[in-house]
Every structure is written in structure tokens, then in C-alpha cells.
């Protein structure tokens, strides 16, 4: 397999992971809005932490995907 095809496949895989993480992040945000009045506040804080961490991961993954796309130009 040529190097350019390998990079394209890798970018495709990263895009699938990116979309999956965004879907999970969105679902967690929807869960917060639906269950923000529950008496168990610790679970809400845990989900806030998970949302924060996943959002940071999504941002770094987005930057990494863009770097790989720019790397295709050099191949």
C-alpha cells in the first residue's frame, strides 16, 4: 500500500473515532440537562468531569487530524 493511501486510511479511522467521541459527549450533555435536579449531586459532578475530559480529547484529536491532512500535501 502506498504511503498516501495509508495516511488516508488512518485519517478515516480517526474521523470515525472523532464522530463517536462527539456523539458520546453530546449524550452526556443531554443527560446532564435531563437529570440536573436529582438529589445525587456526585454523579452530576462526575459526568461534568467526564464531559470536560472528553471535550479536551476531541479538541486534541481534531488538531491531530488536521495535522495529518496537511501531511498529505507533502506526500
Provide the number of structural domains found in the chain: 1
Judge contact between 22 and 58, C-beta under 8 A: yes
Range of the domain at 35: 3-74
Q: Render pLDDT for 31-59 as a digit per residue (tens, 0 to 9).
A: 888 877 766 778 778 888 998 999 999 99
Average pLDDT over residues 18-24: 93
Which of 9-15's residues contact partners 24+ apart within 8 Å by CB, and which partners? 10/68, 11/65, 11/68, 11/69, 11/72, 14/61, 14/64, 14/65, 14/68, 15/65
pLDDT score for 72: 81
| Cα gap 60→25, rounded to integer Å | 14
Amino acid at each position: 500500500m502506498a504511503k498516501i493511501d495509508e495516511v488516508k486510511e488512518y485519517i478515516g479511522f480517526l474521523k470515525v473515532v472523532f464522530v463517536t467521541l462527539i456523539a458520546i459527549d453530546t449524550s452526556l450533555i443531554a443527560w446532564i440537562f435531563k437529570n440536573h435536579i436529582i438529589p445525587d449531586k456526585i454523579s452530576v459532578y462526575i459526568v461534568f468531569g467526564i464531559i470536560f475530559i472528553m471535550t479536551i480529547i476531541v479538541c486534541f484529536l481534531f488538531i491531530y487530524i488536521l495535522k495529518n491532512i496537511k501531511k498529505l500535501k507533502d506526500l
